[in-house]
């Protein structure tokens, strides 16, 4: 069971791509046909074939070989990624319904407190000043917000 | 020539400000380990939406050039390269700084970078015009093969694991499949979503891949505790070292420009080859790695020469050579410009303004190094997590501002996770970016060509330029595979 889970973990991306490739073939089956044969389904089928083919080669060629990635995420890293994603989602929703300034400042404050480990006063100062400067930049450069 | 004069006459206050701000932003991003030039350009593109094309490119090109150079600052001062391209600078830069010659090492890196950058800009001016003149006669068949040639470089790009490079490329090819099929006007993989009708926008995808995933990766790596306490004096005491290594300077500048012009090679490879050239040309090769000037000159000159080289295929053919130029391609399109040979006919002033921006960026780097390098060195002591908070905010603003829809923010976030997943498992993002940009072109040109030929494949190979491009693609693939096999045997 352990070996099976290890296999799944190591080959998660190629396996996901095999499923995606099969889905592409299934999804484009009803796409309209054109006389020249180069219809909207032609290129997706080419890409899906490559996707499945390369993924299978990857799974077999990497058999018994360790994945050498840029990082080996530990539990803390996963928690930090989850927190930053949660903060981003909440802030974007706030921007959508309240105002950009509130969304940005809450994001910065939360990020500095929870992920950077800064004290509340430093976090407040940086988030307020930072939001002000960013908002001024947005206004000066007329970034469409 | 007259367009050059018009471009020069359009240099105004806003242009200068844009150039200086770009240099500062590039310096900060390049100097901070964990942040790359690609990420910098990706998050700052949205801030150029309302600038004129000239000012926008002055800003982005200055950011690009200074970020590539600034990667050498932490490499020399704290033994941590700011960008992957500064990897080799650590070998001799840090020992020199440790000897108390940090100023000399930084001066060497700065002057060698400026020399490489300006030589590449001069080559860019002549080569881009020449290639664009030649490429103006290209049709669907030639552009299709040009795209294939670009993709064939993926094999060389992923020499450590070819199959993973190919998988990364296929993911990049799959992204442009979403949205309206440009040849048949048929919606593909839109699942009834109005936002998906116009496809997944390249900029949010790149922001996710290069900026958000970078922040996520940062959570897994430990914060550098090595504080910069080096004294920086006699910055330009290194002029004699440069004069002694003039042949190395010229050689690495030419190599860097050439490698930059090849799709998929990039500044890191150029720096490695530049360092190798320095070692080969050194009178005391056994002393390399102990703080030799040529160990800084070689890689720094080569990696900055890539900046001008990478702009050659982008401007002349509309084909990006690396992820940064892929984002610059998007920036050109946002300004309503279509890169490629027609750009030289339709907007010659913008092209000339880009040339001028590359040269002036290096002038700005020189000025900034003289007056503020000590300040930048202090920046190395700021916690990366504080700056990554601002990077995330830039990601949100940048993704949203493209079309004023929060959908693009979710796209960026999703690709942040995809980028993180890929990098964690050892998949390079370079092939994916290249395929993302070239995929659309390849599909359009292939469909167009097949429609023109009535389904016949013969015109794909019997036109002279097509035949040359096919042969080149096969040569590149063959050579890359040969090199990979040779390297593997060497390692064994």
Residue A47 CA to residue B169 CA, distance in Å, equals 10
For residue B409, the model assigns a pLDDT of 92
Burial letters B427-451, b for 16+ CB under 10 A, else e: bbbbbbbbbbbbbbbbbbbbbbbbb
Q: Which segments of chain B have a pLDDT < 70?
A: 1, 156-160, 222-230, 264, 491-492
Interface contact A109, partner B, CB < 8 A: no
Query: Cα angle at B108 between B106 and B109, to 5 degrees?
Result: 65
pLDDT confidence bin for A70, thresholds 50/70/90? low
Q: Give pLDDT, residue B264.
A: 67
Cβ-Cβ contacts under 8 Å, A142 against chain B: 49-50
Q: Which residue of B has its CA nearest to A114?
A: B385
Q: How confident is the model at residue A81 (pLDDT cuts 50, 70, 90)?
A: very high
For residue B320, give its domain range: 2-491
Cα B451 to chain centroid distance, Å, stands at 35
Binary contact (A108, B406; C-beta < 8 A): no
- Percent of chain A residues past pLDDT 70, beyond the cut: 91
Report CB contact under 8 Å: A116, B49: no
Contact B447 A42 (CB under 8 A): yes
pLDDT score for B335? 85
Number of domains in chain B: 1
B180 CB neighbours in chain A (<8 A) are none
ipTM of the complex: 0.92
**A34-55 residue pLDDT tens:** 766 678 888 899 999 999 999 9
Q: Is A130 near chain B, with CB under 8 Å? A: yes
Q: According to the model, what pLDDT value does residue B380 have?
A: 73
Percentage of residues in chain A with pLDDT exceeding 90?
44
Q: A98 contacts in B (CB within 8 Å)? A: none
What are the Cα distances from residue B325, in Å, to B22, B35, B260? 16, 17, 10
Name chain B contacts of A62, Cβ cutoff 8 Å. Answer: 163
Smallest CA-to-CA distance from B109 within B73, B143, B151, B79 is with B73
Q: Mean per-residue pLDDT for A68-79?
A: 78
The answer for A 60-99 residues in CB contact with B (under 8 A) is 61-62, 67-74, 76-77, 80-81, 84-85, 88-89, 91-92, 95-96
Count of CB atoms within 10 A of residue A31's CB? 18
pLDDT computed for residue B160 by the predictor = 66
The tokens describing B85, both together, are 């391209």
Q: What is the pLDDT of residues B245-296, one digit of tens each?
A: 889 999 999 999 998 888 767 788 888 889 988 888 888 888 888 888 899 9
- Look at residue A76 and tell me whether its pLDDT is greater than 90: no
Task: Map out the domains of chain A as residue ranges.
Answer: 2-61, 75-140
Cα angle value B52/B58/B59 (rounded, 5°): 90
Q: Do A38 and B385 touch (CB under 8 A)?
A: no
Flag if A43 and B409 touch (Cβ within 8 Å).
Answer: no
B324 vs B35: CA distance, rounded Å: 13
Q: What's the predicted TM-score (pTM) here?
A: 0.84
Give contacts of B404 with chain A, Cβ < 8 Å: 144-145
């Amino acid at each position: 069971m352990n070996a099976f889970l290890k296999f799944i973990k190591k080959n998660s991306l190629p396996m996901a791509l095999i499923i995606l490739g099969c889905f592409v073939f299934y999804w484009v089956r009803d796409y309209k046909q054109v006389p020249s044969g180069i219809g909207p389904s032609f290129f997706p089928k080419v890409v899906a074939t490559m996707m499945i083919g390369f993924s299978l080669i990857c799974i077999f060629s990497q058999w018994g070989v360790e994945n050498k990635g840029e990082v080996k995420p530990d539990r803390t890293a996963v928690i930090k990624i989850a927190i930053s994603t949660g903060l981003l989602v909440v802030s974007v929703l706030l921007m959508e319904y309240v105002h950009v300034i509130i969304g940005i400042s809450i994001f910065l404050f939360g990020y500095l407190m929870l992920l950077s480990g800064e004290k509340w006063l430093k976090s407040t100062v940086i988030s307020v000043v930072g939001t002000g400067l960013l908002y001024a930049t947005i206004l000066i450069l007329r970034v469409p917000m | 020539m007259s367009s050059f004069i018009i471009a020069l006459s359009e240099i105004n206050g806003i242009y200068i400000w844009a150039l200086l701000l770009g240099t500062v932003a590039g310096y900060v991003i390049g100097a901070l380990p964990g942040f790359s030039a690609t990420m910098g350009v990706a998050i700052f593109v949205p801030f150029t939406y309302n600038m004129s094309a000239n000012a926008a490119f002055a800003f982005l090109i200055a950011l690009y050039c200074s970020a590539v150079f600034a990667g050498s600052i932490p490499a020399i001062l704290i033994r941590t390269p700011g960008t992957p391209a500064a990897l080799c600078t650590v070998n001799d830069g840090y020992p020199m700084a440790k000897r108390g010659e940090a100023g000399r090492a930084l001066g060497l890196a700065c002057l060698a970078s400026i020399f490489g950058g300006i030589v590449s800009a001069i080559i860019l001016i002549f080569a881009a015009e020449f290639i664009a003149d030649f490429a103006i006669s290209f049709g669907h068949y030639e552009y299709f093969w040009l795209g294939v040639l670009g993709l064939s470089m993926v094999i060389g790009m992923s020499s450590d694991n070819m199959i993973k490079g190919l998988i990364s490329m296929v993911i990049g090819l799959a992204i442009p499949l979403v949205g309206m099929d440009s040849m048949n006007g048929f919606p593909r993989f839109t699942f009834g979503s109005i936002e998906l009708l116009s496809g997944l926008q390249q900029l949010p995808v790149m922001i996710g891949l290069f900026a958000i995933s970078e922040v996520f990766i940062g959570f897994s790596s430990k914060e550098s505790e090595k504080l910069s306490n080096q004294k920086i004096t006699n910055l330009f005491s290194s002029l004699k070292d440069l004069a002694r290594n003039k042949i190395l300077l010229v050689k690495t500048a030419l190599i860097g420009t050439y490698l930059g012009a090849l799709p998929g090679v990039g500044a890191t490879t150029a720096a490695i080859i530049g360092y190798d050239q320095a070692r080969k040309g050194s009178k005391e090769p056994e002393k390399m790695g102990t703080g030799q000037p040529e160990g800084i000159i070689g890689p720094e000159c080569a990696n900055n020469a890539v900046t001008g080289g990478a702009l050659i295929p982008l401007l002349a053919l509309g084909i990006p050579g690396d992820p940064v130029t892929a984002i610059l391609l998007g920036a050109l399109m946002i300004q309503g410009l279509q890169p490629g040979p027609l750009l030289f006919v339709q907007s010659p002033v913008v092209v000339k303004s880009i040339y001028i921006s590359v040269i002036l960026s290096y002038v700005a780097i020189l000025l900034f190094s003289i007056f503020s390098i000590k300040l930048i060195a202090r920046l190395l002591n700021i916690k990366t997590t504080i700056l990554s908070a601002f990077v995330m905010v830039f990601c949100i603003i940048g993704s949203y501002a493209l079309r004023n829809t929060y959908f693009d923010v979710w796209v960026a976030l999703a690709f942040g996770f995809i980028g993180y997943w890929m990098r964690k498992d050892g998949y390079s993002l370079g092939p994916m970016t290249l395929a993302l940009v070239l995929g659309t072109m390849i599909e359009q040109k292939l469909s167009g060509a097949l429609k023109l030929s009535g389904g016949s494949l013969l015109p794909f190979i019997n036109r002279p330029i097509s035949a040359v491009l096919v042969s080149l693609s096969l040569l590149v693939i063959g050579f890359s595979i040969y090199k990979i096999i040779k390297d593997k045997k060497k390692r064994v």
